[in-house]
Amino acid sequence: MVQKRAFPRICIALGLPDVRQLLEHARGEADAGESFLEFRLDYLDRPERGAEAIRDFLAQHPECIILATCRRHQNYGKFNGSIEEQIRILDLAIQHGARAVDVEIESAEAAGEKLSVLRGRAQLIISYHNYEATPQLDVVLNRMTRIPADAYKVVSTARKPSDFGRVLALARSHPRTPLIVLAMGELGFPCRVLSPAFGGLYTYAAPSSAEGTAAGQVSARLLRHLYRVEKLSRDTRIYGVIADPVRHSVSPVVHNRAFQSRRLDAVYLPFLVSPVHLRDFFTLAERLPVSGFSVTIPHKQKIIRYLDFVDPLARRIGAVNTVWRKGGKWRGTNTDAPGVTDPLARRLRVRNSSVLIVGNGGAARGAACALADAGARVSLVGRNPDRVRALAKICGAEPLLREQMGTRHFDAVVHATPLGMFPHVNECFFNGSIPGDIVFDMVYNPLETELLRRAREQGKEVIPGLDMFIEQAIRQFELWTGESAPRPLMEKAALEALEHKA
């Protein structure tokens, strides 16, 4: 009888095309301190060789736990043999030291009594995978638990935010049933981080130097050091950013490092939320529950209709970038506004200064309202003269046409359009001289935009978009936590994240 012990919280999924690569990556992960590895034997031309390789690997790393999987192609795996051959290979893996085996529900149901050869000699995991959607999960679990096993793995595909919320709820509502629960895809990524905190036995990670075996897998290093998967609990406060796309966001790096610095039991996650799923996200946020979140493109304006309270400046701007829950109510504000005024105020006296804002969208509107409220004389220019005039009327600014720039000069120019943002890094609103002593670009990716490069060449003082990003993030952190933000650490984290993406 196999001795049962708790699994580590992170399992490295190794799906490689030959035994040499499988062992090479497994040894690399073990040398890096990982102790729980899945050998996907179905990825190999000869799965039996992979089963035998378990013995060779454990001879060097006896401290490791090996989970052997040989999923049939009919069930989204790569093995083309019969169920009898599948059971034989997993039996061989156990003979060579595998401590656990994963059998998909379809094979388990068809195998019947043949499955008994596996259970008792290793921990048997029955798995269910749905690559299309997230079905009625209680129905799925009832089907699975008809077969005696040591644990049950339920993996679905999230099509909207509340889908992965239902996956997490399955583990929370069945505390007596050993479960592994996951949602695949970028939309389901938060589930991979939160699953162990909600009662899941463990989560899966990709190897550090190879592709994972499922969409949405990230490295164990990221799960462990950025998201602190091993330290999360049911009491952990959940924050995040909602955006579409969200993968490029550096906010998770910045806020998670800040939480760690202040020793707060909190985690900050990227939530992929499409415009049609904004209401659904609030369903998820209530159930998790989420304590607060950042809002960025394309939700800053539409989010207002779902909030209970919005502060006056944010309502005037017509955009919210920060949301938090207080007294069971959702509240919103706009920390982008001080993200513009504060960096400028460190370089000039904002009141009565002349500021040209380039743009006529939401970012320009926020900057114009904030600077007008601070007493600056604001002028606006953009590619859409009608929208420029409409925005100027709202915030009491002067509308200008592009051809008027040659005869005007300003104390500062604030660029509030996506021009120059990655991947269109060579674009710039100004072709010749930039009409301001200070040039502030709200774009922060790349760090050195084409506008800032030209401004430096012209001898201007420049303010990079990272200054605004950090300023608004600091205010978010302090609003959410009630603690002072670790500014130098947040700046360093943002710089490192942007340089890594470059």
With a cut of 80, say whether residue 5 has pLDDT above it.
Answer: no
**Which residues participate in catalysis according to the annotation?**
300
Residue 502: which pLDDT band, with cuts at 50, 70 and 90? low
Closest CA to 422 of 396, 398, 441, 405: 441
Q: Are residues 282 and 377 in the same domain?
A: no
Residue 1: which pLDDT band, with cuts at 50, 70 and 90? very low
449, 465 contact by CB (below 8 A): yes
Q: Are residues 325 and 376 in the same domain?
A: no
Q: Are residues 281 and 355 in the same domain?
A: no
Q: Are residues 135 and 68 in the same domain?
A: yes
Domain contains 478: no
Window from 72-81, 197-206, 207-216, 468-477 with minimum mean pLDDT: 207-216
Question: Nearest 5 degrees, angle CA 121-CA 122-CA 128?
Answer: 135
Number of folded domains that form the chain:
3
- Of 180, 206, 234, the domain-final residue: 234
Residue 326's contacts (CB-CB under 8 Å, 6 or more residues apart) are none
CA distances (Å), origin 44, targets 18, 128, 131, 267: 6, 22, 22, 38
Q: Are residues 407 and 326 in the same domain?
A: no
CA distances (Å), origin 33, targets 37, 201, 395, 496: 11, 19, 57, 24
Q: Are residues 224 and 249 in the same domain?
A: no
Q: Are residues 351 and 215 in the same domain?
A: no
Both tokens assigned to 196:
């162990």
With a cut of 50, say whether residue 2 has pLDDT above it.
Answer: no
Q: Are residues 220 and 75 in the same domain?
A: yes
- Measured distance CA(329)–CA(14) in Å, rounded: 44
Q: Would you state the pLDDT for residue 98?
A: 98
Residue 103's contacts (CB-CB under 8 Å, 6 or more residues apart) are 86, 87, 90, 111, 115, 118, 124, 125, 126, 127
* Cβ atoms within 10 Å of 457's Cβ, excluding its own: 9
With a cut of 90, say whether residue 445 has pLDDT above it.
Answer: no
Domain contains 282: yes
* Cβ atoms within 10 Å of 120's Cβ, excluding its own: 12
- Measured distance CA(432)–CA(428) in Å, rounded: 10
Residue 325: give the domain boundaries. Answer: 238-334
Domain contains 475: no
Q: Are strands 410-415 and 290-295 parallel, antiparallel or unpaired?
A: unpaired
CATH assignment of the domain containing 376: 3.40.50.720
Q: Are residues 384 and 323 in the same domain?
A: no
pTM for the full predicted model:
0.93
Please give the average per-residue pLDDT across 5-17, as a whole number.
92
Give DSSP secondary structure letters for 428-494: -S-SS--SEEEEEE---SSSS-HHHHHHHHTT-EEE-HHHHHHHHHHHHHHHHHSS---HHHHHHHH
Residue 156's beta-bridge partner residues?
Answer: 183
Residue 361: which pLDDT band, with cuts at 50, 70 and 90? confident
Residue 125's beta-bridge partner residues?
Answer: 102, 151
Residue 204's beta-bridge partner residues?
Answer: 11
pLDDT in tens, 163-195: 999 999 999 999 999 999 999 999 999 999 999
- Of 200, 234, 268, the domain-final residue: 234
- Of 291, 307, 334, the domain-final residue: 334
Q: Would you state the pLDDT for residue 272?
A: 97
Both tokens assigned to 109:
């149901």
Q: Whole-number mean pLDDT of the chain?
A: 94
Residue 58: which pLDDT band, with cuts at 50, 70 and 90? very high
